[in-house]
Structure 1
Amino acid sequence: MRDPVNMLAELGRESAGGIVRLPVGTPSIYLVSHPDDVQHVLRGNWENYQRQGMFWRPLQRLLGASVLDDGAAWQSSREILQPLFTARYVASLAEQMAAAVDERIAELEPYAASGRSFDAGEELADVVNQTVIKVLFAGRLSREGGRRLSPAYDRAARSIAFRLLLPSMPYSVRLPGDRAFMDAVQRIDDVVLPMIRQDRDRRRSGTDVFSTLVRAREEQGAGERQVRDDVVSVYGAAAESTATTLTWLWATLAAHPEVASGLYEEVGRVVGDGPVRASHLPELGYTKMVLQELMRLRPAGWLFPRMAKRADLVGGVQIEAGAQVLITPYATHRLDEFWERPLEFDPERFAPGRQERRHRYAYFPFGGGPHQCLGRHLFDMAAPLIVAALLSRFRPVVRGGGPFTPAAAGSLRPKERVELALVRAPHLLRGAL
């Protein structure tokens, strides 16, 4: 209850990736962490392992029937959304996104001028809103709406903790966080539903994700609720992993100054005085390595629960029908068999040529198989652009608050507030003098 995220990781390491049955009553709950077994559940026999059951029930009150559901709802949403989240389509948005990133990062200048600090999670969520979401939703999500939406998602993710830790507890029994969760869902609906209802003519001709999604649903005769579920899920896939991961970055750099120096050198060499451009992305190799290592130790999607429809044999262990299977990249990414010094932060693990020698499911921060997260290409583009734009202008300084520990939330985020201050980059200071 105190630290379930690290508890599951410790169980995975102590068992050397063996399957662990958690002693929590019925239905049985199994921790699956070995890459062979993860591959079996997420890909080899994926149709037997559904996103259903007691661990999904709390999330379904937020996400509804969508691409993050299963069965017909998932299939329908996937067919509409997958073409809009391919690497090629996302790459076509790169220049537009780079311009939006640079514009929004420039707005952080008053913090550097005044020396005031800010909540990194809150501010970065707004940066993501004004870049990723602006591009995907063609500006329909206003700045005010984004600033209401991000805190609501954060509140929903945090307040769901007791339901995740006590998944068999009936909803007739109120748990801490229930009221906050439902209030967060209502706040999300208050932003999303009006966006769906407005601008019908603009949607009919638009080529953005939102317009394409709404048109496809209208052709199917789907109601407003279905569109709402799709939009809420797309927002989560596009924004949550990026904002949450970047919140962890600054404390990590403070603890590893040699990594920070490598980032500063690369960004200075590639971006210089800026602005950051899409053409810089191929040259930001070390930045991408740092982000990959960050996603190894702090994967935003830290828990992928599944329910076995039929009995199955996994890793020599009989999994009965109806059992819950917990897959957590946070545990698999720390297995000694597959990672040297697994608890140490070392971006060189992801240097060119080293990844080819790794088991396909030793590293899966975006899931795997048919249910792999649609937002992975967006993260691969947006996160390096945001980091490069910020470091070309500033040097972030973490002010207290650590050590930072993972919260048992819907997505992996620090329990503690990450307080960040900004100092102008040295070359800008010299220019001012």
Structure 2
Amino acid sequence: MSVDVGAVPTQKAKKFPLYRTVSGFLRDPLRQLEKISAEGAGRLIRLDLGASHPYLATHPDHVQQVLRRESQNFVRDGVFWRPLRELMGDSILAEGGEWERSKRILQPVFTTRNVNRLTGLMAEAINRAVDKLDAPAREGRPIDVMPEMSRIVNETVIKVLFGDKISPVEANRLIPAFDQVATSITFRFLLPFVPRAIPMPGDRAFRDAVQVMDETLFALVDRYRDRPGDGDDIFTALCRARMATGSVLDDRWVRDNLLAMFATSTETTTLALTWLWPLLHDHPDVEARLVAEIDEVVGGERVRPEHLQRLTYVTQVVQELLRLYPVGWMFPRMATEATVVGGVPLKPGDPILISPFLTHRLATVWDRPLEFDPDRFTPENAQHRHRYAYFPFGGGPHQCIGRHVFNVEAQMILTSILSRFRPSLSEAVPAMPRIGATLRPRQPLEMRLTPVRRDV
């Protein structure tokens, strides 16, 4: 049974003065945050970032209070949300009325019924995308892991979630532009309180990438604005809402939501699958068990939706993968009213940071937190866990509406690849990712795929 840490008598947050942390932040900000989190051991932490002093909440009770119990008091606003707000505008990643409207319009695309209806189409798209790995596998050529995972994910998402309305040419403009945004935004993400008037590394690359995305997305909106079709995809849902009688929605609103949904539906799966292969490389026992299950369930067939219910270990591997490498690694919030978290009084306007990456690695929450162990997610091991010990898709009203799509897509891509190939990384990969808007490997990953030989 968890203790309601929010009910502890008033106390002070554990502080980390700048002189103690500045050198660590300059060398490796993510590693420094992990050290601070470990030392805090679940207490509410007050970070000193010079111009800003946000709180950091890692205890599951504190996370639950911020994301769920008092979600109306902790909004997606404030200085730490600024970089994403500038990029995504009045989309489903906004707050208040803008968020509610976008969620209401997009929710039908992600209902269990609609996702289940789309899984057959998803399986076909995945199998066709994985087919393109045959040539480098037969020729013994290594693949660049992240671009190949991105290609498979994007071909699937564009087909299934965007109604095939984004052409290969347009996708080839959007994908590199978004990659450029995700990396160039790093300094603004880490130091959001620095005024825009002060140039920072990455600013020009960010502006150039946003311009490419704007040109591509506004052209798409113009093409489909008045004839979105009759599908149940994201593009159609947004354009229908734009066309509705009395609608005040404009092209910018459609663009904002297209960008938000394209980013969240592709980035999460791409990066999770990129991190998978180094983990399997370091844990051959997990890979062997994974391959054995896939061979038994799928064999030499092409992956189909009906395989998923029997792929229990595949499901556990994906869940453990997201524990160690949650793509949405930081959720900034701002208090709008006075409250108490973990016994610490907060004032209106106080920023508070929630990090799945840090909570998922707390020794006070998880046994052997840095160890990759998919058996954590067997039903018997998961049933006694705090609801907010594990929250890779956020929680409360703002929990990611596409989480079910991610799970189905990631499991089918992983299964399709391992049913046909045996992977081998060219070299070991550093365990800690590079900080930014998302968590990416610090260096390119190369992998060879050996075709599976089956007796006919």
Q: Where on the TM-score scale, by shorter chain, does this alignment land: which range?
A: over 0.9
Q: Which runs of 5+ in 2 are unaligned?
A: 1-25
Query: Residues 415 and 91 (structure 1 numbering): CA distance in 2 closer, same or farther, change over 3 Å?
Result: same
Find out whether 1:229 has 2:256 as its counterpart: yes
CA contact (8 A) 2:278 2:428 kept: no
CA contact (8 A) 2:190 2:436 kept: no
Displacement, 1:81? 1.1
Query: Residues 15 and 199 (structure 1 numbering): CA distance in 2 closer, same or farther, change over 3 Å?
Result: closer
Find out whether 1:245 has 2:272 as its counterpart: yes
Runs of 4+ in 1 over 6 A off after TM superposition: none
Query: Residues 279 and 129 (structure 1 numbering): CA distance in 2 closer, same or farther, change over 3 Å?
Result: same
Write the letter of the residue equivalent to 1:144: V
CA distance in 2, matches of 1:245, 1:144: 25
Secondary structure, counterpart of 1:187 in structure 2 = helix
CA distance in 1, matches of 2:164, 2:280: 33
CA distance in 2, matches of 1:149, 1:404: 29
Counterpart in 2 of 1:140?
165
CA distance in 2, matches of 1:236, 1:415: 20
Counterpart in 2 of 1:309?
336
CA distance in 2, matches of 1:49, 1:6: 26
Secondary structure, counterpart of 1:123 in structure 2 = helix
Displacement, 1:172? 0.3
Mapping 1:25-424, distance limit 5 Å: 25-200=50-225, 202-219=227-244, 220-400=247-427, 402-424=429-451
Write the letter of the residue equivalent to 2:387: R
Query: Residues 7 and 87 (structure 1 numbering): CA distance in 2 closer, same or farther, change over 3 Å?
Result: farther
Displacement, 1:167? 1.6
Displacement, 1:324? 1.1
CA distance in 2, matches of 1:131, 1:260: 25
CA contact (8 A) 1:192 1:228 kept: yes
CA distance in 2, matches of 1:121, 1:92: 29
CA distance in 1, matches of 2:136, 2:215: 31
CA contact (8 A) 1:100 1:130 kept: yes
CA contact (8 A) 1:122 1:151 kept: no
Mapping 1:17-28, distance limit 5 Å: 17-28=42-53
CA contact (8 A) 1:401 1:417 kept: no
The size of the alignment, in residue pairs, is 429
Secondary structure, counterpart of 1:55 in structure 2 = helix
Query: Residues 323 and 15 (structure 1 numbering): CA distance in 2 closer, same or farther, change over 3 Å?
Result: same
Secondary structure, counterpart of 2:447 in structure 1 = strand
CA distance in 2, matches of 1:11, 1:245: 25
Displacement, 1:201? 5.8
CA distance in 1, matches of 2:295, 2:216: 39
CA distance in 1, matches of 2:284, 2:169: 36
CA distance in 2, matches of 1:189, 1:400: 38
Q: Which moved more, 1:60-69 or 1:252-261?
A: 60-69
CA contact (8 A) 1:80 1:216 kept: yes
CA distance in 2, matches of 1:278, 1:407: 34
CA-to-aligned-CA distance 1:225-252 (integer Å, 9 cap, x gap): 0000011111122111111110100011
Write the letter of the residue equivalent to 1:49: F
CA distance in 2, matches of 1:26, 1:218: 45
Q: Quick one: which of 22, 29, 39 aligns to 1:14?
A: 39
CA distance in 2, matches of 1:132, 1:205: 18
Displacement, 1:204? 4.2
Write the letter of the residue equivalent to 1:51: R
CA distance in 1, matches of 2:380, 2:48: 42
Q: Which moved more, 1:305-314 or 1:198-207?
A: 198-207
CA distance in 2, matches of 1:333, 1:207: 35
CA distance in 2, matches of 1:46, 1:200: 34
CA-to-aligned-CA distance 1:107-138 (integer Å, 9 cap, x gap): 11111022212221111111111112211111
CA distance in 2, matches of 1:85, 1:25: 42
CA distance in 1, matches of 2:144, 2:168: 18
Write the letter of the residue equivalent to 2:402: G
CA contact (8 A) 2:55 2:353 kept: yes
CA contact (8 A) 2:225 2:239 kept: no
Q: Which runs of 5+ in 1 are unaligned?
A: none
Displacement, 1:355? 1.1
CA distance in 2, matches of 1:98, 1:107: 15
Displacement, 1:87? 2.2
Write the letter of the residue equivalent to 1:13: A
CA distance in 1, matches of 2:445, 2:269: 16
Displacement, 1:267? 1.0
Counterpart in 1 of 2:7?
none
Q: TM-score, normalised by structure 1?
A: 0.96
Taking only the aligned residue pairs, the percentage that are identical comes to: 46
Secondary structure, counterpart of 1:326 in structure 2 = strand
Query: Residues 204 and 109 (structure 1 numbering): CA distance in 2 closer, same or farther, change over 3 Å?
Result: closer
